[in-house]
Chains A and B, each alone.
Chain A
C-alpha cells in the first residue's frame, strides 16, 4: 500500500521523498488537531470529576 503510494507520487526520487514526508506530517497534524481531541472525550482514564456532572 505505502509502496504503491510512493510509486504513484510524481517527480524524481528526491521530490517523492519530500512529498511523502509532507504527507506523513499532514496525517500526524490532522490526527493531533482533530482526531485525538475528539477521541479523548471517550477516554475514561482522564475522568477526574465526581458523580455525574
Chain B
C-alpha cells in the first residue's frame, strides 16, 4: 500500500505491462518468484495425488504379474481337474484328509496366490511374505510374519491396500457370507468360506491372533484373515474380513472346478 502511493502517478500506469518488467522493485521480484513457487507446489501436489491414485495401481499390477510369473515357474504344472469328478457337477467337496501346510521357513517371497471370484472373474493376486511397504506397495497382498500358513490350525493373516498400489482389497466390503476365497500354494488349494467383516481401530493387533480377538485361546479353527484400511480413501480404521477353511485339494488333484479357469489364466498369463 505504501509503495503504491510512492510510485503510482497516473500517467506511469498507462504503459504498465512493459515498464513493470523493466523496473521491478525487489519486492515485486520476491512476490513473483514466491507466487510461481506456490503455483508449482500446487501442481506438484496434484501430481502426487494423481501418482498415488492412478500410477501406483499400474506400477503395482506390473510387479504383481511378474510375481505371479515367478510363482508359477516354481510350482508343478497345473493339472486340469479330473474329468470324472469334474463331470459330477458341484458335488460335495472331496475329502483329501488333513491339509498339507507349508513349513514356516518356506514362507519366503511370493509363496501363494489368492483367488476371490467376488472381486471379479479374473481376480488373482500373489501373496508375499511380509507386510512392509516394500511388499504391500509393490506386490499386493502381504502375509503377517508369525501368523499361520494356509490350511493350518490358527490364523493365516494377510494385509492389502484398499486404495492405491494395486488396491487389491478395494472391494472387501462387498464380500457376502458364503463367498469362497481360494488360496493356492505349491502344495495345494485351500478353500475358505467368508464369514464376516469387522471394523476396528488400527491398534487392534489381536485380530490376527491364532484365535482372532482372543490372544490366549487355543486355536481350533483354520482361519483366513484379511485386513485393509477403512474407510475407502482413509485410514482412521481397519476393516477385517474373516473366513474359515472349508476344504483343500492337493496340487496334484487340480484346482477346484469353480476357479479352474482363473488358475489357468493366472498361470498362462505368467
Q: Is the interface of B mostly helix, strand, loop or mixed?
A: mixed
User: Contact size class for B?
Assistant: 35 or more
Give Cα A1–Cα B60 distance, bound, in whole angstroms: 37
Tell me, yes or no, whether B229 is within 8 Å of chain A by CB.
yes
Tell me, yes or no, whether B67 is within 8 Å of chain A by CB.
no
- Contact digits for B160-180, partner A, Cβ 8 Å, 1 yes 0 no: 111111000100000000000
> Contact: B52 with A36, CB < 8 Å?
yes
Cβ-defined partner of B33 (8 Å) among A1, A28, A37, A50: A1
Which residues of chain B are near A31, meaning CB under 8 Å? 44, 47-48, 51
Give Cα A45–Cα B56 distance, bound, in whole angstroms: 14
> Contact: A48 with B52, CB < 8 Å?
no
Which are the 9 A-B pairs with shortest beta-carbon distances?
A: A51-B205, A48-B229, A49-B159, A53-B131, A36-B51, A1-B33, A48-B228, A1-B36, A49-B131
- Considering only CB atoms and an 8 Å cut-off, how many residues of chain A contact the other chain? 21
- Taking Cβ atoms with an 8 Å cutoff, the residues of B that contact A are 32-33, 36-37, 44, 47-48, 51-52, 55-56, 131-133, 136-137, 142, 144-145, 159-165, 169, 200, 202-205, 207-208, 227-229, 233-235, 238, 240
Q: Give B146's nearest chain A residue, CB to CB.
A: A53
- Contact digits for A1-39, partner B, Cβ 8 Å, 1 yes 0 no: 110000000000000000000000000100110001101
Give the residue among A1, A49, A52 with the most B Cβ atoms within 10 A. Answer: A49
Which residues of chain A are near B200, meaning CB under 8 Å? 50
Q: How far is the CB of A21 from chain B (nearest CB, A)?
A: 15
Give Cα A45–Cα B33 distance, bound, in whole angstroms: 32
Give Cα A36–Cα B51 distance, bound, in whole angstroms: 8
Cβ-defined partner of A40 (8 Å) among B137, B144, B162: B137
